[in-house]
């Protein structure tokens, strides 16, 4: 389980996660350029981190062949604990990935390169994404802490709010057990507990 670490005067203090709402993520994606190749790539990456609920290292290890445009699915071959899984993107997220694939093909980047790569086909560093997200958040005037794992949190919260079975959420997240997922969800989205307590007479 990952929680963001504050880097100010209380360095080392673990702060509670702050999942983003859908409109906040849409604003974050809108802060990326809709025309520049880097913006097209970054929108697709954000969509995969959010809708696919991938860890940052899982997203950066993807190859173009791991994305199935027909089914809108992403195959994670080397997840945590070396576990493989397949996740689904919604139509909008899949379209963003397809647009980036078309863009990189026009730039002459071969399919042997990683799906999310630099504009000359080199590997992307996770430090680039860690620096990019707060910059986009400022541009989108989002007050919460924004980091890659927070997008994974947000996707899991949406599934929970939609009433998706915890076993399915667990598989989507690539967790070793449902118990791990239960602890994860209670940590990032304790609203079910709060709502139950408020309902008491």
Catalytically annotated residue among 41, 55, 114, 145: 55
> Catalytic: 112?
no
Catalytically annotated residue among 43, 104, 114, 184: 184
> Catalytic: 145?
no
How far apart CA 173 and CA 185 sit, in angstroms, is: 11
Per-residue tokens: 163: 């009433």
> Catalytic: 149?
yes
Catalytically annotated residue among 22, 80, 161, 187: 80
Catalytically annotated residue among 51, 152, 153, 160: 152
> Catalytic: 171?
no
> Catalytic: 128?
no
> Catalytic: 80?
yes
Catalytic residues: 55, 80, 149, 152, 175, 184
């Amino acid at each position: 389980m990952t929680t963001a670490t504050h880097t100010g005067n209380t360095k080392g203090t673990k702060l509670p996660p702050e999942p983003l709402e859908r409109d906040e993520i849409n604003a974050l994606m809108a802060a990326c350029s809709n025309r520049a190749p880097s913006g097209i790539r970054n929108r697709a990456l954000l969509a995969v981190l959010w809708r696919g609920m991938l860890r940052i290292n899982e997203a950066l290890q993807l190859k173009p062949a791991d994305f199935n445009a027909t089914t809108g699915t992403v195959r994670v071959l080397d997840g945590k604990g070396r576990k493989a899984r397949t996740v689904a993107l919604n139509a909008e997220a899949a379209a963003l990935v397809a647009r980036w694939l078309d863009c990189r093909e026009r730039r002459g980047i071969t399919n042997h390169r990683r799906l999310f790569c630099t504009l000359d086909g080199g590997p992307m560093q996770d430090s680039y994404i860690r620096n990019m997200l707060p910059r986009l958040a400022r541009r989108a005037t989002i007050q919460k802490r924004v980091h890659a794992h927070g997008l994974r949190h947000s996707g899991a919260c949406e599934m929970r709010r939609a009433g998706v079975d915890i076993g399915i959420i667990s598989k989507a997240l690539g967790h070793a057990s449902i118990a791990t997922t239960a602890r994860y969800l209670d940590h990032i989205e304790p609203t079910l507990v709060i709502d139950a307590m408020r309902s008491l007479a």
